[in-house]
Structure 1
Amino acid sequence: MLSMRHFFAAPGRGSLFHVMVDKLRMRGALESRPNSDAVMKRAQARCADCGREDTCQSWMAENDQPDETPYFCKNHDLFERLKHEIEAEEALQTA
């Protein structure tokens, strides 16, 4: 069911995705992936549809350099997969 929030753009709706990417230090890794534009577009849409902007902004204000995405983030699984891919690539480079 659609709520009124679907009809009116909130300031910055979906832009929190880019803030989260930078906060997690994953921009370069994300942009280097195949189809990164499409992946980021879908992730930004999930972010825009979340409805927890205030919670997200508070979490980001309290976490300067987080090790992981908050549990409530609709992109949590995406960021966790990317984090594991980055760790695997780093392990291969040092092996």
Structure 2
Amino acid sequence: MTDRDRLRRHADLADRMASTLGIDLQEVAIKGAITPDDISDIVLRCADCPNPDDCAGFLARNAQSKCTPEYCRNQELFGRLVP
């Protein structure tokens, strides 16, 4: 997998995780709760995760959730943004 493909995969996982938690990253950025750089950081933290397959499985099993898996590198930030 190329670096570009890897980043795309993690961007998708991060966005899906946010959506599962009820967070619209674009909307919270427009409202000023996070910056566009924060969104980039979310993807980069996700890309450092050694569990992308576990994350994809979690997302497949949980259409809606109140929390991320314990290993999520964005757990703290997402926790602050959950509506």
- How far, CA to CA, are the matches of 1:77 and 1:66 in structure 2? 15
Query: Could you say which structure has the greater relative contact order, defined with CA pairs below 8 angstroms and 6 or more residues apart?
Result: 2
Q: TM-score, normalised by structure 1?
A: 0.69
Contact 2:28 2:34 in 1 (8 A): no
Query: Cα RMSD between the aligned structures?
Result: 2.1
Change (3 A) 1:13 1:34: closer
Question: Which 4+ runs in 1 deviate beyond 6 A?
Answer: none
Query: 1:27-63 deviations in whole A, cap 9, x for unaligned?
Result: 1653222552011110111011112100100101111
Count of aligned residue pairs for this structure pair: 78
| TM-fit CA distance, 1:25 | 1.4
- How far, CA to CA, are the matches of 2:80 and 2:18 in structure 1? 13
Change (3 A) 1:22 1:35: closer
Percentage identity across paired residues of the two chains: 27
- How far, CA to CA, are the matches of 1:38 and 1:24 in structure 2? 20
Q: Could you say which structure has the larger radius of gyration?
A: 1
- How far, CA to CA, are the matches of 2:20 and 2:34 in structure 1? 22
Structure 2: tracts of 5 or more residues without a match: none
Q: TM-score, normalised by structure 2?
A: 0.77
The aligned amino acid for 2:47 is: A
1:44 corresponds to: 43
Query: 1:1-42 deviations in whole A, cap 9, x for unaligned?
Result: xxxx8xx43361332111111121111653222552011110
Query: Pairwise mapping of residues 75-94 of structure 1 onto structure 2 (< 5 A)?
Result: 75-83=74-82, 86=83
Structure 1: tracts of 5 or more residues without a match: 87-95
